[in-house]
Amino acid sequence: MKILVTGGAGFMGSNMIHYLLKNYNDVEVINFDFLTYAGNLENLSDIQNDPRYRFIKGNIADEKSVDDVVSKGIDLIINYAAETHVDRSIMEPRAFIDTNIYGVYTLLEAVKKYKVPRIIQISTDEVYGAVMEGESDEKSQFEPRSPYSASKAAGDHLCHSYHVTFGVPVIMTHSVNFYGPFQFPEKLIPLFTCNLMDRKKVPVYGDGMQIREWIFTEDHCRAIDLISQKGNVGEAYNIGTGHRVPNLDVTRKLLEMTGCDDSHIEYVKDRVGHDRRYALNSQKLRMELGWEPQTSFDDGLAKTVEWYKTNQSWVNRCRSGEYANYYEKQYIKR
Ligand code: TYD
């Protein structure tokens, strides 16, 4: 089975490649990644000589590069390539439109043209917008509120339309917030962990009572594997754990795990248009496909913090160069 993982040098994509190579002998995995700031081949250094693995540098929004790969015959595409950070989408939305919309269009066209048997679109719970009470299921209306979530919603709509109009065999997935090893230190959990390891303060937006639902990366990989084998084409699947907590609770756990206290919290100006709460109903995935999360939040967080502690040089390289400029810009704007 020849699997094309787009965005395979990023956090989720690299975790998925590790998962596939660990669990299947008879796979050939092509990692197609443009190596933007969040893509890092170091994430895959342990498997770079594995004969089942190959890296190709390319942009999903570039028709020619996509055609070159897909025309050679692919059995499954898993599209992790995306711009994903909400704060960046507020400052510089353009890349989100290019990758999350035009890039998805380009992949769908290639799937149509070369008759790829299946493509999985990785998307987010954020397309449903802020959910003040109750849960979003797969039939809930899209109400994206940031350029990031709007671009993902547009990509998902394109997927749906390509299934209805052209019969493209696409499955959409909406996941809650991921965390785990290799996540770029701009998202809440890795940013706060890295700051605290350096005994720096952590910037809590607003009152810190915004609620997110969390999934450990390995649980997400298992869900994607199952959906790609047993899911119904043309449908969407929510992937959630039900573990919903305010950001301050996550922050306090990280303070404890790194030996810090509340004096390391800095309450900063809230994110513009900050979604107060996300909550997914993931019964369809559980009832129809029999998936259940296996890692508790406490265990997953402990594994994650341990990974960042033992991979300090990886963190240092991420935090140099382009990222450092971004970090500065973000804080000047507040
Ligand atoms: P983030 O990891 O950026 O994911 P998302 O916005 O996609 O949910 O943020 C998770 C939550 O943490 C979100 O409510 C914003 C908040 N947050 C902070 O309070 N401070 C920070 O520095 C960051 C990056 C996020």
What confidence tens digit (pLDDT) does each residue in 150-185 have?
999 999 999 999 999 999 999 999 999 999 999 999
DSSP codes joined into one string, 4-29: EEETTTSHHHHHHHHHHHHH-SS-EE
pLDDT of 323 higher than 70: no
Kind of pairing between the strands at 244-246 and 211-216: antiparallel
Output the pLDDT for position 307: 97
pLDDT of 12 higher than 90: yes
Output the pLDDT for position 29: 98
327 as an active site residue: the answer is no
Asked whether 84 lines ligand 1 (CB < 6 A), one says: no
What share of the chain in percent tops pLDDT 90? 94
Range of the domain at 120: 2-330
Average pLDDT for residues 262-290, to the nearest whole number? 98
Q: Using DSSP, state whether 236 is helix, strand or coil.
A: strand
User: For 41-82, what is each residue's pLDDT tens digit?
Assistant: 999 999 999 999 999 999 999 999 999 999 999 999 999 999
Distance from Cα 85 to the centre of ligand 1, integer Å:
9
User: For 32-51, what is each residue's pLDDT tens digit?
Assistant: 999 999 999 999 999 999 99
Output the pLDDT for position 322: 52
Asked whether 173 lines ligand 1 (CB < 6 A), one says: no
Output the pLDDT for position 276: 98
Catalytic residue among 33, 83, 125, 156: 125
When divided into structural domains, the chain yields a total of 1
Output the pLDDT for position 329: 47
CATH of the domain at 302: 3.40.50.720
Question: Is the four-CA dihedral 101, 103, 106, 110 of positive or negative sign?
Answer: negative
Amino acid making up residue 88: R
Distance from Cα 188 to the centre of ligand 1, integer Å:
5
Mean pLDDT of the chain: 95
Output the pLDDT for position 11: 96
Output the pLDDT for position 330: 45
pLDDT of 318 higher than 90: no
Q: Which helix (H) or strand (E) element contains residue 150? A: helix 147-166
Average pLDDT for residues 23-29, to the nearest whole number? 98
